[in-house]
Structure 1
Amino acid sequence: MSEETDLIKLYSGRILALAADIPHAERLSDAQASVKKRSPLCGSTVTVDVSMSDGRVSAFGQDVKACALGQAAASVVGGALVGCTQAQAITARDQLRALLKGSGVVPDAPFEGFEVFLPASAYKNRHASILLSIEAACEAIDSLA
């Protein structure tokens, strides 16, 4: 398979659909923690707001200024994070990192949507943007623990 075909696969219709419909795409006015992260390679930025109750994420908001891959990853995070524990968020982050390094293992539910990034393992320069939202969310959650 050619590299051009692989890149086209990376920007699949599913990636573009996720990027176009990001859940919780507004900042929280009363967040307990906020974190902003930036990818130095491409300049993508994500700011996340998190509130927790009884050890679970009770509210989540995000402002995403990223490429299609960063937006798609933020979409998966936005659709999965509310209701999760700190451990679930950390596991999702670690599993996404492993997937991008080529493990081929799809992250556990409710973050199984990250499987769309399997083709991205070949594009190391895209990894930071894909990781922005989940890393920012984990950092915010960690600050509340």
Structure 2
Amino acid sequence: MAETDLIKLYSGKILALAAEIPHTGRLDAPDGTATKRSPLCGSNVTVDVRVADGRIADFAQDVRACALGQASASVLGAVAIGRTRDEIERARDALEAMLTADGPAPEAPFEGFEVLIPAREFRNRHKSILLALEATAEAMKQAEQAACA
């Protein structure tokens, strides 16, 4: 990897997002919790959600990831509250397609993931970038299953 590639990858905007992650920490008595880990780099994200009427009513994330994973969690944290599991899963799938199949950035309100387009060529970073959305989808699934039990 050339030095210019690293500079492009770790742009000022990505580093600024990584430094300002919304909704960090953990929730007391969440409806659902999930931790996702990237075995390749060791990044992990734990997400807690409270769900009301099928939407995220409260959200917290404990992010221990590289700058790209942190930037991704930052984009998600800014728009997570009020989202349905279907919206989260569609954003996750669109982000994965953006990274692996040159697809477009996810649609609003998830368009902020566009900043991660330079990571397409760094396949070893894709899993870290997807962790926050994967953990959120799983936490919401757990919350829905608990509500039906």
TM-score (ref. length: structure 2)? 0.92
Match of 2:97 in 1: 98
How far apart are 1:38 and its partner, in Å? 1.0
| 1:45-56 equivalence runs, <5 A | 45-56=44-55
| 1:33-72 equivalence runs, <5 A | 33-72=32-71
Match of 2:124 in 1: 125
Mapped partners of 1:124, 1:9: distance in 2: 15
Match of 1:22 in 2: 21
Match of 2:115 in 1: 116
After superposition, give the CA deviation of every residue in 1:106-142 in whole Å (9 maximum; x if it has no partner): 1111111100110111000000111111100011112
After superposition, give the CA deviation of every residue in 1:51-72 in whole Å (9 maximum; x if it has no partner): 1101111010011111111111
Gaps of 5+ in 1: none
| 1:104–1:118 contact (8 Å) kept in structure 2 | no
| 1:77–1:134 contact (8 Å) kept in structure 2 | yes
After superposition, give the CA deviation of every residue in 1:54-91 in whole Å (9 maximum; x if it has no partner): 11110100111111111111101111110011111111
Mapped partners of 2:115, 2:88: distance in 1: 18
The list of structure 1 runs, each at least 4 consecutive aligned residues, that deviate by more than 3 angstroms after superposition, is: none
Mapped partners of 2:33, 2:11: distance in 1: 31
TM-score (ref. length: structure 1)? 0.95
| 2:94–2:103 contact (8 Å) kept in structure 1 | no
1:82 is aligned with what amino acid? I
Gaps of 5+ in 2: 145-149
> Secondary structure of 2:142's partner?
helix
Task: Work out the percentage of aligned pairs sharing the same amino acid.
Answer: 58
> Secondary structure of 2:75's partner?
helix
- How large is the Cα RMSD of the aligned pairs? 1.2
How far apart are 1:26 and its partner, in Å? 1.3
1:63 is aligned with what amino acid? D
| 2:76–2:132 contact (8 Å) kept in structure 1 | yes
| 2:33–2:142 contact (8 Å) kept in structure 1 | no
> Secondary structure of 1:29's partner?
coil
